[in-house]
Amino acid sequence: MDEFRAEVAAWLRENRPPEPDFLMPESFMEVGTDAQFNYLRDWQRRVFEAGYLGMTWPKEYGGGGQPQVMQDIVNIEMARQNVPFMPNTIGLNWAGPLILAIGTEAEKQKYIRGILSAEDIWCQGFSEPDNGSDLAAASTRAVRDGDEYVLNGSKIWTSLGTYAKYMILLARTNPDAASRYAGLSYFLAPMDVAGVEVQPIRKITGEYGFTQTFFRDARVPVDCLMGKEGEGWKIAMQTLTFERGASGGQAGGLSMVAVSAADVVELARSAMRDGRPAIEDPLIRDQLIGFLVEEQGDRLCGARARIPALCSERPGAIPMSGKLRGTEFRRRLCQFAISLQGANGARWVGDAHAYADGLWQRSYFNAFSATIGGGTSQVQANIVGERVLGLPKD
């Protein structure tokens, strides 16, 4: 193991791409320019070709067929060396695991390798403009017409919408179904068909990254349907479990720029408050330790989740709360990092004298994409309260 770790570490040191001359996005949700996209796609391809991605996935589809511990070592080493993240997050963490879990042999053959190599970028079409976190209210229609489904409607918060070849899409095939859940179906939909239009959305940071996707009589082949008609909700929920931190299945690699409490400790050493390094201020020290304790607690939760005897009462507690814990932690950590900078906390990306080029300010703003996207923190808290604790629904 130590030998493998050393090998990975050496490979990463030798192969990490040069620092780009543009501002790096923080996650796949922030990829807003061609330069950013191409840089990251090239990097994912090289990691895959080196055998460091999809290490647990079956060999016959392009994976490594190795134990999870190998991928863990790679992931940890990547985080430690702070190398760029993998842009094909939806493919690696959602679509890929899903296809491997319930897809047909043909689907596995068709999609898995392209996901790993970043040849085929995936995006996600769950949210709609009028429905936010209430995915079951999806109103995008899919009407069967011979060998095709005809799509009409709109999806929003589509990351990488401009670059994606496929979308995992939740659409309504039967508006008259017994329940609103029963009328939904799940598609692995191609994006390169007529009638699909992608429009960039400007974020609070001023940058781009998300898109809104419009379907106007877009026709996709019937074999894009995953499972059966009416199984869309069930499959979508299964997909979200991958996101929500349930272990297993994901292809590995970083999916965002790691921001850790240790980085903020380093900032506190250099940033000045009231004429002294922030780290000398007893209040700052107390808060820094608070963040370290919280972060370490979450990390240890990850370790404990692998020991069933220590999770027997509520096996879902750690995985189901992962998104809520992680995203809110990041938001608060970034907010705090700004406060270390004294008057300079008011600077922004692009100012010559901003600490760390204003990235903490941008990270704070970008942090909301994760406390909102994929189910707001409020919805996440409901999910944990209802599914893990068994509390009544709203």
Partner 1 sequence: MPQTLKNTMTFSDEQSMLLDTATGFFRDKSTSADVRNLIDSARGYDDAVWQEMVALGWSGLAIPEDFGGSGLGLAAAVAIAEPMGRHLAASPFLSTQLFVQGVLAGGSDEQKGQYLPAVAEGSVGTVALFEEDGNWDLLSAQAQLKVAGDRFTLTGVKTFVTDAEVATHYLVAATLAGEPALAIIAESELPAAALSRETVIDETRRSYRLAIDAVDVAGTSVIRGDQARKALAAIRDAALLLISAESAGGIAGVLEVIVEYLNTRSAFGRKIGSYQGLKHPTVDILIGLERARSHVYHAASLLDAGEDAEAALRMAKAEASSSYAFAGDRAIQFHGGFGFTYECDAQLYLRRALWSQYAFGDAAHHRKHLAALLLD
What residues between 262 and 301 interact with a second copy by CB under 8 A?
281-283, 286
- By the rule CB under 8 A, 83 interacts with partner 1: no
Residue 341 engages partner 1 in binding (rule: CB under 8 A): yes
Query: CB of residue 204 vs partner 1: minimum separation in angstroms?
Result: 4
> Which span sits near partner 1 by CB under 8 A: 88-96, 213-221, 246-254, 344-352?
344-352
| Segment contacting partner 1 by CB under 8 A, of 85-93, 97-105, 116-124, 296-304 | 296-304
Q: Which of residues 193-222 bind partner 1 (CB under 8 A)?
A: 201-204, 206, 210
How many angstroms separate the CA atoms of 331 and 369, rounded?
Answer: 10
Residues 171 and 140: beta-carbon distance below 8 Å: yes
Nearest-angstrom CA–CA distance, 77 and 283: 33
**C-beta of 273 vs 330, nearer to partner 1:** 273
In whole angstroms, give the CA distance from residue 52 to residue 372.
Answer: 31
| Count of residues engaged in binding partner 1, rule: CB under 8 A | 94
Query: What minimum distance in Å lies between the beta carbon of 18 and partner 1?
Result: 25
Q: Are 245 and 323 in contact (CB under 8 A)?
A: yes
Q: How far is the CB of 373 from a second copy (least distance, A)?
A: 25
In this structure, the chain runs to a length of 394
Task: Give the DSSP H/E element, type plus range, for residue 188.
Answer: strand 184-190
The first and second tokens of residue 23, run together, are 């501002």
178 binds, among a second copy, partner 1, none (CB under 5 to 8 A by kind): none
Nearest approach, Cβ of 46 to partner 1 (angstroms)?
26
Q: Which is nearest to 137 in space by CA: 122, 123, 156, 161?
A: 156
Which of residues 283 and 300 has its CB atom nearest to a second copy in the complex? 283
> In the range 250-279, which residues lie near partner 1 by CB under 8 A?
261-262, 265, 268, 271-275, 279
Residue among 328, 334, 318, 320 nearest 376 (CA): 328
Q: Which residues are catalytic?
A: 243
CA angle 359, 361, 364 (to 5 degrees): 105
Residues near a second copy, by CB under 8 A: 281-283, 286
